[in-house]
Amino acid sequence: MCSVTDTPSRGLVLVVEDERPIADLVRLYLSREGFGVQVEHDGIAGLAAARRLRPVVCILDIALPGMDGTEVCRRLRADDDWTPVVFLTARDDEVDRIVGLELGGDDYVTKPFSPRELVTRVKALLRRAAVTAASERVRTLGPLTLDPERRTAAVEGRPLMLTATEFDLLAHLLGRPGRVFTREELLAAVWGYASHAGTRTVDVHVAQVRAKLGEASAVIRTVRGVGYTADA
């Protein structure tokens, strides 16, 4: 059984969480911020809802009955659906979190979590997309072209299928070519929070972007002991 909160003035958020008290709490906090909320309690229903409703953000628990959250995300990405995904996980293991990000997730929150923090993460994902589209011009660096308004990127005309966070990371690096950003700076600018413990998240996303850039991956250069820069 699913439930839905009406009046999605900020768009519809899909919450797939089998622990009903947690789902109800997340729905309450999102509703207070003006989001419409669709709640599903298993992965199969969650995948169907994501395909049917096209939410602005998906919040996926990893340990779901029927189909786990990482598989839901994998299938959406296989459909070229790049809706931002925030994973909820009870596992405090870095390997589990990295696997989720490598499958196309944009962020993660470890249980127990603050519902206010989760709402902040959701709003940050959407705000980054809006600010990027409104304020930046088309950028070209070597074979790479990035259009913030259309939120598209291509290498020599070949479209890149990027998650929202991967796009924002690439846009931030290309915003100041040659400027070296520390991992902490990237975490604060792209994810909206700063924590030394979370810098591994930056490394994972950079690796994912490089993999998608293919032969153009050298555009993103690692500065050992410091961070990353975009350089033709």
Contact 5, 36 (CB under 8 A): yes
Cα separation, 185 vs 3, in Å, equals 39
From 6, 95, 92, 19, select the one nearest 60 (Cα to Cα): 19
Tell how many helices (H) and how many strands (E) occur in the chain. Answer: 8, 13
CATH topology of 3-128 equal to that of 136-230? no
Q: Is the pLDDT of residue 146 over 70?
A: yes
Cα separation, 163 vs 185, in Å, equals 20
Report field, pTM of the whole predicted structure over 0.85: no
CA atoms in the 13 A half-sphere facing the CB of 210: 15
Cα separation, 128 vs 130, in Å, equals 5
Domain 136-230, CATH among 3.60.9.10, 1.10.10.10, 3.40.50.300, 3.20.20.10: 1.10.10.10
Q: pLDDT digit string (tens) for 88-133? A: 988 666 656 666 677 788 888 888 899 999 999 898 888 776 655 5
Kindly give, in sequence order, each residue whose CB lies less than 8 Å from that of residue 222, ignoring residues fewer than 6 positions away: 206, 228
Residue 196 is predicted with a pLDDT of: 52
Residue 41 is predicted with a pLDDT of: 96
Q: pLDDT digit string (tens) for 9-56? A: 568 899 999 999 999 999 999 999 989 899 999 999 999 999 998 898
Mean pLDDT lowest among 104-108, 109-113, 168-172, 191-195: 191-195
- Who has greater pLDDT, 164 or 17? 17
Sheet holding 227-230, edge to edge: 181-182, 227-230, 220-223
Domain boundaries, the chain: 3-128, 136-230
- Who has greater pLDDT, 182 or 130? 182
Residue 101 is predicted with a pLDDT of: 73
For 21, list phi and psi in degrees, rounded to 5.
-60, -40
Give the β-pairing of 144-147 and 158-159.
Answer: unpaired
CATH assignment of 3-128?
Answer: 3.40.50.2300
Q: pLDDT digit string (tens) for 55-99? A: 989 999 999 999 999 999 999 998 888 889 999 988 666 656 666
Cα separation, 222 vs 232, in Å, equals 13
Residue 106 is predicted with a pLDDT of: 87
